[in-house]
Chains A and B, each alone.
Chain A
């Protein structure tokens, strides 16, 4: 079993849809949960991070962590074509080293 699992997609949705992206993990020591966005031919950029369980909202984006289920989600409301990218979840027990999921490729169609 991989340490972090993520549905690779691709996921295609119409503009304005609500998008749900998910990751599961096996290491209960993970405390920090991050979502990175990677546009084509670019490096990943940090989109959001959450510490421990709970929700965090930033504009159209909401990150949720359920540590009891070892499950994290990223919701995108009112999705836009500019949201088309690969979304990578990443996790860390503490500090520098992250474990990344394989990424979900999202296409938002106008």
Chain B
């Protein structure tokens, strides 16, 4: 069964703290993604990666960085957390298939609150 896991379901941090969100997939997928989900705005892509040590900026990369040292693990880093980064963070993975688009499989999400 396809599995994407995220290290925490709920996280509370203080302004200025460095925050690490971890994502692991067990499907040997090439592609991994980090989104944030906010009411009325839907899912917005922060960063994605098509291969180990590769990263590409999404639509809203400011204030975030990522790390992909191993194929199965994709980390999102908030260098100095701010209150406007309070959100639900979703990790996803996908693999190129024969349908013309690559189905993305999502983790359960991490709800981050920055005080």
Contact = CB atoms under 8 A, between A and B. Distances in A.
A95 B106 contact: no
- Indicate the size class of the contact surface on chain A: 20 to 34
- Indicate the size class of the contact surface on chain B: 20 to 34
Nearest to A93: B101
Contacts, number: 61
Nearest to A103: B42
Contacts of B48: 96-97
A8 B106 contact: no
B108 A43 contact: yes
A6 B50 CA distance: 29
Nearest to B91: A43
B75 interface: no
7 contacts: A41-B109, A43-B108, A46-B104, A49-B101, A94-B100, A96-B94, A100-B43
